[in-house]
Amino acid sequence: MEQSFTDQSFTDLVIGAMGPKTTPKMRRILGSLIQHIHDFTRENHITVDEWLAGVEFINRIGQISDDKRDEGILVSDVFGLESLVDSLTNQIGGAAGQSTETAIIGPFYRSGSPRYPNGASIIQKDVGGELAWVHGRVTDKQGKPLAGVELEVWHTAPNGLYEQQDPDQPEYNLRGTFTTDENGKYDYICLRPTSYPIPYDGPAGDLLRLMDRHPNRPSHIHWRVTKQGYHSLITQIYDSRDDYVTNDAVFAVKDGLVVEFTDASDEAKKRNVQFELAYDITLSTSDEAAAALKRRDEILLKKEQELAKTGQVQTAYRNGSH
Ligand code: BEZ
Ligand code: FE
């Protein structure tokens, strides 16, 4: 019988073209990708012109990206993809209380921020804004304080720009690395963060316009919290006073990450700040994270075994945890 190019038999032909040296994982992932791309194309009856527009869009993502701009992450974020991947990656939970929730890292993380002693300010240059004293404790899920935890924090200036986007800010302005003391305590001075638009003069912005959406993120501080033997935490805290908290352009706000900056207490006023945030962090152990990963791997292994038996991606990805 002549091959049809528009139905599942064609999709099966493409998936079935993978050779015996393809690993089970690649067979599962690429088979599923081909299946979804073909289903999407059939469902929407994509024409050659529409496909070419899509190809051009993908090419532009690469062309506009450089070491200061990652359009691939921006486009993922507009689709909610980074938030979805982050949440799937960090489904750790566990019996003895929850660890602090994660959030996306976004495209503006830089490693190697200056190490400061507790209490120091991450503001290298006055860029305006309101000062805040942020302090708290890092513990494990049993409440035991963790010493020697590294906390990297970063946020934008009130003009909405991270230092690497802004020629008027010194390198690593509004970024810093702190270490918890023997009681698990940390503290630092920063700006009360402000909301800002994600870059929208490229493909990510085109997508936002096509979907009649705004580019704004609620005011937030990013954190990367690490300690040997513990699952690294990448997260953000969101200022509850910001309207975009319920309307984030990149879908990264979780209720547990919305915090109250309060007027400075007497203790905070000694540091000449207007606001204060008390924020404790709870880490999972690496073993807890590894156990969660093992459960996930078992589900995926079942799919790979089913694929090896039937070769049917459709069956394999529709069964299991979806
Ligand atoms: C950020 O929070 O830094 C960010 C996240 C997603 C897209 C753009 C920026
Ligand atoms: Fe940010």
Q: Is the CB of 218 under 6 A from ligand 1?
A: no
Q: What pLDDT is stored for residue 97 in this prediction?
A: 55
pLDDT, tens digit (0-9, with 9 covering 90-100), for 25-50: 999 999 999 999 999 999 999 999 99
Q: What pLDDT is stored for residue 321 in this prediction?
A: 41
For residue 89, give both structure tokens. Answer: 């990656």
How many angstroms does the Cα of residue 208 sit away from the middle of ligand 2?
18
3-class DSSP state of 228: coil
135 φ, ψ (degrees, to nearest 5): -150, 155
Report the atom number in ligand 1 closest to the C-alpha of 108: 3
Q: Cβ of 55: how many Cβ atoms within 10 Å?
A: 10
pLDDT, tens digit (0-9, with 9 covering 90-100), for 74-119: 999 999 999 999 998 887 654 445 899 999 999 999 999 999 999 9
311 φ, ψ (degrees, to nearest 5): 70, 5
User: Which H or E element spans position 98?
Assistant: none
Q: What pLDDT is stored for residue 306 in this prediction?
A: 86
Q: Cβ of 275: how many Cβ atoms within 10 Å?
A: 19
d(CA 250, CA 80): 6
What mean pLDDT value characterizes the chain? Answer: 93
Task: Identify the CATH assignment for 81-86+93-284 out of 2.60.130.10, 3.40.50.150, 3.90.580.10, 3.40.50.1220.
Answer: 2.60.130.10
Q: What pLDDT is stored for residue 316 in this prediction?
A: 60
Q: What pLDDT is stored for residue 317 in this prediction?
A: 56
Ligand in nearest proximity to the CA of 221: 2
Helix/strand number for the chain, H first, E second: 9, 12
Return the best residue to mutate from 64, 65, 71, 73 for the ligand 1 pocket (most ligand atoms within 8 A of CB): 73
Global pTM? 0.92
Cα 248 to its chain centre, rounded Å, is 13
Cα 78 to its chain centre, rounded Å, is 12
